[in-house]
Amino acid sequence: MPVDMHKNVSVQVDSDFALLLPSGVYEIKKMEPRSKIRTIILFCLFLAIAGIIGFGYFCQDQVCALSKRAVILQSSDMMAYNELQANNNNNNNNNNINNNVGGSTAIASKASAPQNIIANAGLSYEDVLNDDFQFDMDGHDVMVFLHIQKTGGTSFGRHLVRDLDLKRPCECQRQRKRCYCFRPHRNENWLFSRYSTGWKCGLHADWTELTSCVDVELDKNEGETAKRRYFYISLLREPISRYMSEYRHVRRGATWKGSRHWCLGRQATAIELPPCYKGKDWLDVDLDQFAGCESNLAANRQTRMLADLALVGCYNKSSMPAHERDRVMLASAKRNLAAMAYFGLTEYQKMSQYIFEETFNLRFAIPFEQHNATISATAVTNLRPDQRRLIEKLNGLDIELYAFAKNLLFQRFEHLKAKDANFAQRFANLGNIFYKQGVTEFNWDSNIEDALSTDH
């Protein structure tokens, strides 16, 4: 009687993998073991193990810095995020936007897996806390500045290119707002920002755009492919003041029409982002009109620019209910902010400077200035009660994100302070060093500002 060489085996799937399969029970054809197949499998397994060991031994960390951030959630970052999220929930029991944030994000992450694998969000703050960490100018380390409009980013960007005490200072051209920020021994960029590389990924590119663009643009710019370590940095500002500052900027004629709003391989359509005005600009718009445009990206701008927009269908607001979209986008922005190597707050210049210097072991040659009495602050105090309520409602996500950021900034500050045996002296003398010889003086104020494309 012939022998059936195949056996039917029923397998019950009980884990999370069942979510990815149409049903939980499957029939699998199982071949009888054969010595030849065993030999091939063992040989392949040996080659795989040998390859892994060889790659890890011969490939240095600074050259082959395979991103730990390729998967969207890291355990260490999520632990820090969840701890801060719990603290915020205790202080905001009446705010339901935080409920089940982690579950929503995890579900959205599965739906957008290809984008998350492509995105390279750089090394996290947890990575740079290691005692032996050093930002390697001679290696392949790159700072990427995510510049959010009206947060003080222009001033901070200028500090980066002209005020850092470096072996090879950035060389700034008088006729162009561009500086060459090269490594000490070769002409490769260590800084990806407006003033060093230009808007290579689009005008005021956001997290979604930068993480899918920076590596490609640097490869093109330098003519070669390199395994780089990226360190994302950014600034945030108190949301109502930031919103009013953007309103005043737009009222003067700024448009930011050069922004691409790129996500998942395409730009946002005119249907997804209908214009708020006709003509070349929104000159002299009044505040009620400005706040009344539903597609005005000034509302919750900081949350949108820090979030992974692939998780919410990019700019297609019909992809999920509005409340779910807001919840996932806020959770994503908080997670990305918590994972950033550095961020500062406009309202805490000195603290932000100290955190930057201690994080990267770099020193600024001047202290950061604190400008609390701004025109925007005056404009906020002059708002009608109904206008104030509307603007707070429009920026509800940014308000919560800023509270989260402030809490996180103070935690980082206290942690670094506790490690610094000379904190009192260091903090009192921030920026109190002399320029090294060879630093190129550069007067930014002598350049004519283009009011339609520049901001602070």
Catalytic residues: 204
Helix (H) or strand (E) holding 146: strand 141-146
Q: What is the DSSP string of 59-119?
A: S-TTTS---TTSSS--HHHHHHHHHHHHHHHHH-TT-GGGTTHHHHHHHHHHHTHHHHHH-
Are 395 and 239 in contact, with CB atoms under 8 Å apart? yes
The two tokens of residue 262 are: 């790129």
- Burial, 277: exposed, middle or buried (Cβ in 10 Å; 0-12, 13-18, 19+)? middle
Contacts of 101 (CB under 8 A, 6+ apart): 85, 327, 330, 331
Q: Compute the 3-state secondary structure of the chain and give helix, strand, coil in percent, each to the nearest 5.
A: 45, 10, 45
Long-range contacts of 179-183 (CB under 8 A, 24+ apart): 179/442, 183/137, 183/138
Residue that has been written with the tokens 């700072």 in this structure: 143
| CA 102/CA 204 separation, integer angstroms | 28
Residue that has been written with the tokens 């490939």 in this structure: 59
Are 139 and 64 in contact, with CB atoms under 8 Å apart? no
The two tokens of residue 27 are: 């029939």
Alpha-carbon separation of residue 380 from 288, 392, 398 (angstroms): 14, 11, 16
